[in-house]
Amino acid sequence: MNGYEGNRTLRGNHIAVRSEARSLTYSQLHDRASRLAQVLATEGLAEGHRIAIMMPNIVEFIECLAASAKLGCAALSVNFHLAPAELAYVLADSQASVLIAHTDLKEVVSAAEPTCTVIFIGDESSSGYEARLAAASAEPVHYLWPAPWPVIYTSGTTGRPKGVVHGALASAEVLAYSQNMMAQMWGYTEADIHLVAGPLYHGGPQGYANLTLFAGGTVVLMTKWDAREFCRLVEQHQVTTTFLTPAHFIRLLELPPQEFAEFDLTSLRHVLHAGAPCPVSVKLRMIEALPHAEIWEFYGMSEGGATRASPAQFEERPGTVGPPWPGVELQIIDPETQEVLPAGRAGLVYVKPAYGRFHYHQDEAKTEDAWLADSFTVGDIGYLDSEGWLYLTDRHVDLVIKGGVNIYPRQIEEVLHQHPEVVDCAVFGIPHERDGEHLHAVVELRAGQSQATPQQLQDFCVLHLDRWSCPDSFEIIEELPRDPNGKVLKRVLRQQAWSDAGRNI
């Protein structure tokens, strides 16, 4: 693989990135990123420093990533939905030297009162992004690194976000090795056209955009998610690869079959999905809807990748997220005794990464909690089969203890997804005076044709689950709350239900 510098030299006229508004070849990306790197250098940014990037999916986001690779500084992707107090915390905690933000976010940025330099895209003054690039020298700045080194703040379920820092990646050699390994593992090549369907501040959408640029392909940016627009862009640009989440699958499957069939999606050869457990029924329907594409699931997080499963592997063992990545090892640990559990026993999933350790920025306690010897956990519960393939059962934080019995809501959500009128759902525990917790299901039904009642949903669950594991109450709502990547915000629903209880467990 060529990396950013090699693609500039060998594939200069090839389109590197495009949006509805504009596109850049690899040569143009190199030129603009060189100018930006010089602007950042005048602000004191140097190797090992951090640049914060806060904007929607626009071409300038890629320019910022490329400039960070030229300077050898970390690219800190900031969720542009943050409130001022949250933004202030991330900027202060990360010690970012410069923030580049879209002018539409000026009110939020100003309210955060950042102490670092701020450059606004869309600001037409002499201090704005375009004016400063135009005033910078046209002298080329070569890439110190073959790809950007990302630092991503995880949203978490409680407490403040955590900045995940992969210190081992902060070198040209290790970055090149990791990107080459990923490109070979997924089969990404310079011929690929990759559609970014989720926000670039998320690890998955940004990671596979970076991988495509490392390989010399073309990245196509969606401004925001829309199922019809996704299909249109795949057809228009002959997209070959993409990264999606189960929420994206659900919305694609909600398109009327006749309308979905009108789009030519046959160019799509490789679909990666992660971000949340995918209901088996949804995954099987998606495999049927895209018979020409290989739909691979992987289990990973900002902290590191762990497993992957091909369509054939998934159909052979429904529900699996597959065997480990090359060089990765898995263990299932009892959270109470910290003993290694045998095949078939559920416990905390621990991952031994292929290279290096991460740490949470300026948080030794959280880092120490995550690691056990040379393996880490993010709190997911799962088990291994006899051949070492992983099955996820739930998040540790989502565990419901009902009358002293451990119940994992994901198995209930899997059942509800089989109901023909259910689009999506979330099951969690709510306070109960006698049993500690009871199970509550919040359900989004198919629009326009759904007649299912809470009692009918209860009866459906009874057919597939033991009664103790069935939800004790149901709530039907028009639309479940979601984050910008489409993931159901279960913690928001849980907080609403527990707000009057005076306790959290």
Domains observed in the chain: 3-215 (3.40.50.12780), 399-498 (3.30.300.30)
pLDDT tens digit sequence for 392-411? 987 777 888 887 777 889 88
Record the tokens describing residue 129, joined without a space: 């992004």
CA distances from 323 to 240, 251, 301, 374 (A): 25, 28, 16, 19
- CA neighbor of 162 nearest in space, from 410, 306, 376, 408: 376
pLDDT digits (tens, 9 = 90+) for 113-150: 999 999 999 999 999 999 999 999 989 999 988 888 88
Nearest in space to 220 (alpha carbons), one of 283, 254, 267: 267
Q: Is 61 helix (H, G, I), strand (E, B) or coil?
A: helix
Q: What proportions of the chain, in percent to the nearest 5, are helix, strand and coil?
A: 35, 25, 40
DSSP H or E stretch at residue 347: strand 347-352
∠ CA 155-178-269, nearest 5°, is: 80
**Which residue bears the tokens 């989720």?**
198
The rounded distance, in Å, linking the Cα atoms of 289 and 253 is 8
Distance CA(138)–CA(424), nearest Å, equals 52
Q: Is pLDDT above 50 for 158? A: no
Determine the average pLDDT of the residues in 239-252. 94
Task: Kindly state the average pLDDT of the residues 21-46.
Answer: 96
Which pair of structure tokens corresponds to residue 42? 């005048």
Residues 164-191 have a mean pLDDT of 87
pLDDT at res. 492? 87
Q: How many residues does the chain have?
A: 505
Full-model pTM: 0.86
